[in-house]
A and B are shown apart, each in its own frame.
Chain A
Amino acid sequence: MNFSFRSKRIAGILTIVPANERSFVEDMKNFNFPEARSLKLKQVMGFDKHRVVMPGVCVSDLAVAGLEHLFKNGLLDRDGFDALILVTQSPDHFMPPTSNIIQGRLNLKHDLLCMDINQGCAGFVIGLIQAFMLLEQESVRRVVLINADVLSRKTSPKDRNSYPLVGDAASITIVERDPEDSVIHTSLKMDGTRNEALMIPAGGLRLPSSPETAVLEDVGDNNLRAKDHLRMDGSAVFNFVQIEVPELIENLLAAASVPLEKVDYVLSHQANRFMLEKLADKLKLPRAKMPSNVVEHFGNSSGVTIPMVITFNLAEHLRQNRSQVILASYGVGLTWSAMLLQLGGLKFCEMIEYP
């Protein structure tokens, strides 16, 4: 399905990464796998370093630190927004919503719509869609969109399929009305029949966590994982992305009557370097127009990777200039989405460490 939004813009982006850095070489010691093969994988997939939280750190800790940074530096007025959207798959609790926990910890005003959205790697575009819709209301002047996940806490360190690429992080994106008559085009698709391709099987009410669900099992290829852990069918996800995402982007461009050559960057979810290079090749897009260096420096932090690819690669450029970009995100659900917009003239575009 397609959406379009008029006169909305992203005004600033902050990403928050844990100061704790792990290296793939360290992780390799946990894998029951020959070192030479692991090193080949490192080269192809771009695994090198990733940021993970220390034990006990939750999504609200990263979000609160980020908002306090913005308040303290005069980049956001604590009463200057009317909605706070949190997109996460690793909330502090089942209930209450973590967005309310953030509101409470910062003692924010009561005239504030707080909302949690359970979404993952496609969560930046999903969050933006929600923010743009809220801005149709006169009472909503500005929306704070937070994407945050600490999925390292739900990933088995002995699972070579997922642990080396997972990263924890948060981002805060300020969304507001654009005084210019700009148009943002969006395409989105979902397929719930493939919901098991990315899943944490236990811990919900269908299969509550128990001593049995915490037991590490041999799940093939010498990987050990419990039902409490993130499970990713890497081959299924890879093929899903390669087949569905190029078509979605082509349809988006056709709907917007914009040729790909007029797009400055395709800012994709950062799954791994190999997947992104294949995606760029399929689109016949120069690889330099699709930066793919986030996983090797920070890991794949779910819905935060698009804000991170922006703050890591384009911060200076987007503070000074505007570029026509496509945001392409895809993952759990399964969900795939793409958004075409003018991005730039940002009030802030930076990355900080926690703590």
Chain B
Amino acid sequence: MKTIADILKEIRPEFDFTTSTDFKADGMLDSFDMVTLVATLDKTYGISISGADIVPENFQNLETIAALLRKNGVQP
């Protein structure tokens, strides 16, 4: 199974997501990347992340994304 970092790397190959604690502030993830990421996470883990949870705070860094996945019953 791909890790969150692997999935992010596919979306934005030019960045190393393991070194940032704030993807948006560091210019690594814009709102459309977030949409692409959600679609990929939904497909990879067979879930549907709630639209109400698609907010920048939940996609700030690897830990917040992992927490969102746990909320959806996935142990990343």
Contacts and interface: CB of A to CB of B under 8 A. Distances in A.
Interface of A: 37, 40-41, 43-45, 160-161, 220-221, 234-235, 238-239, 241-243, 274-275, 278-279, 281-282
Contact of B31 (A37, A235, A279): A235
Contact of B51 (A37, A160, A278): A278
A41 B32 contact: yes
A160 B30 CA distance: 12
B51 A45 contact: no
Given A37-B32, A44-B39, 7 more contacts: A41-B36, A45-B35, A238-B51, A238-B54, A239-B54, A278-B48, A278-B50
Contacts of B30: 220-221
B55 A239 contact: yes
A242 B36 contact: no
Contacts of A160: 32
Contact of B52 (A161, A220, A243): A243
A275 B36 contact: no
A135 B12 CA distance: 56
Contacts of B51: 238-239, 241-242, 275, 278-279, 281-282
A161 to B, nearest CB: 8
B35 A274 contact: yes
A242 B54 contact: yes
How many chain B residues sit at the interface, stated as a range, is 10 to 19
B11 interface: yes
A44 B35 CA distance: 8
A354 B61 CA distance: 49
Contacts of B56: 235
**10 closest residue pairs by CB, A with B:** A242-B51, A278-B51, A281-B48, A44-B39, A242-B52, A221-B30, A235-B31, A40-B36, A243-B52, A41-B32
25 contacts: A37-B33, A37-B36, A41-B35, A44-B39, A160-B32, A161-B32, A221-B32, A234-B31, A234-B32, A235-B31, A235-B55, A238-B51, A238-B54, A239-B52, A239-B54, A241-B51, A243-B52, A275-B51, A278-B48, A278-B50, A278-B51, A279-B51, A281-B48, A281-B51, A282-B51
A243 B52 CA distance: 6
Contact of B50 (A235, A241, A242): A242
A275 B31 CA distance: 13
